[in-house]
Structure 1
Amino acid sequence: MKSTLVPHPLTKREVEQLAGEFAMSDLTLPFWGYRKKMPMHRIVRLEGEGNYTLFHFADGSQLMVSLTLKKMESRLSSKVFVRPHKKNIINLLYLEGIYPGEQLCAGLINGDRVEVSRRKASRFIKQVKGFQQELKTMDSFSPIA
């Protein structure tokens, strides 16, 4: 059963357009001996694994960096990125649907399902509703139905 919170998933073009609207800058990530800039709007979700964070990108690629999820959370845009569970942060631009059941799950357009912790469920729903409202109020954004 799918929730009605997400009327339709955003297209790649809409994500690119909204990245400009939300002023999503590039994210500088540390690598072995150098730093690399990654476009923040191409991150679908981040997954915490101890002292490391695994990035899942829209093109299907993954990247692990040696920073905790908590440190990464502070570097991300709070308008677009939410933390529904202690192990994951998701990008609302890639939200496909919310699936209720025994355990609430957020479905992403890449096919991933992320559990929403019981303690964070009501806050997560409020964040999604707020994000959807903000999309509706944007003058220059006109989603394709």
Structure 2
Amino acid sequence: MKATLLTKPLSHARVEQIAGQFAMPDLLLPFWGYRKKMPMHQIVRLEGEGNYTLFHFVDGSQLMVSLTLKKLESRLSPKVFVRLHKKNIINLLYLKGIHPDRQQLSISLVNGDYVEVSRRKASQFMKQVKGFQQELIELSLAQAVGQPGIA
């Protein structure tokens, strides 16, 4: 299986910078008796497990929350988060590569996870990735023009 690398993975500093420009607020998640804020830009992947969702963070930590993936999907930034199939949502900021195969499309993330893309969602996923990359290019160009001393 040949990997298609879209761009080199983003640095932590670049992710922090982009998060501010994509309006990625903190998520307010319910816990026993209280609510806790979690930075949306540090989420690499969300994995649905019945009525629970397992968060995978960039630092390698994981967190289980008693909300369904569907309920959380509406709270996430649609420019950055993509649902690959019924069990996974990924953050495009941490996309490392796309791996096409004759029968199955899968992706790799910077944390080492490999996730399959459902056949029904594959073409929409590719459109979202291309749109996201175009926005990143436009952001980079706007920053380069706006900064003095950079040609």
Instruction: Classify 1:74/1:115 alpha carbon distance in 2 versus 1 (closer, same or farther; 3 Å).
Output: same
- Code of the residue aligned with 1:105 in structure 2: it is S
Partner of 2:19: 19
Q: How does 1:60-79 map to 2 (within 5 A)?
A: 60-79=60-79
Q: Secondary structure of 1:129's match?
A: helix
Query: In structure 2, do the counterparts of structure 1 residues 98 and 28 end up closer, same or farther at CA, with 3 Å as the change threshold?
Result: same
Matching residue of 1:110: 111
Residue 73 of structure 1 aligns with an amino acid whose one-letter code is E
Give the 3-state SS of the residue equivalent to 1:119 in structure 2.
Answer: helix
Q: Which amino acid aligns with 2:81?
A: F
Q: 1:21-67, CA deviations, whole angstroms, 9 ceiling, x for partnerless residues?
A: 10110000000110000000000000000000000000000000000
| Number of aligned residue pairs | 141
Identity score, percent: 73
After TM superposition, the runs of 4+ consecutive aligned structure 1 residues lying more than 2 A away are: none
Deviates more, 1:15-24 or 1:133-142: 133-142
**Which letter does structure 2 place at the counterpart of 1:78?**
P
| TM-score, reference length from structure 2 | 0.90
- Give the counterpart letter for 1:44 in structure 2: V
Over aligned residue pairs, what C-alpha RMSD do you find? 1.3
Partner of residue 143, structure 2: 140
| Residue pair 1:54, 1:65 contacting (<8 A) in 2 also | yes
Give distance in 2, aligned partners of 1:63 and 1:133: 32
> What letter is aligned with 1:30?
P
Structure 2 vs 1, CA of residues 141 and 41 (structure 1 numbering), >3 Å: closer, same or farther?
Answer: farther
Separation (CA, whole Å) in 2 of partners of 1:92 and 1:141: 22
- In structure 1, stretches of 5+ residues that fail to align are none
For CA contacts below 8 A with separation 6 or more, give which structure has more relative contact order: 1
Contact 1:135 1:141 in 2 (8 A): no
Matched, 1:100 2:100: yes
**Which structure features the higher share of helix residues?**
2
Q: Which has the larger radius of gyration?
A: 2
CA contact (8 A) 1:17 1:141 kept: no
Alignment correspondent of 1:90: 90
- Residue 149 of structure 2 corresponds to none
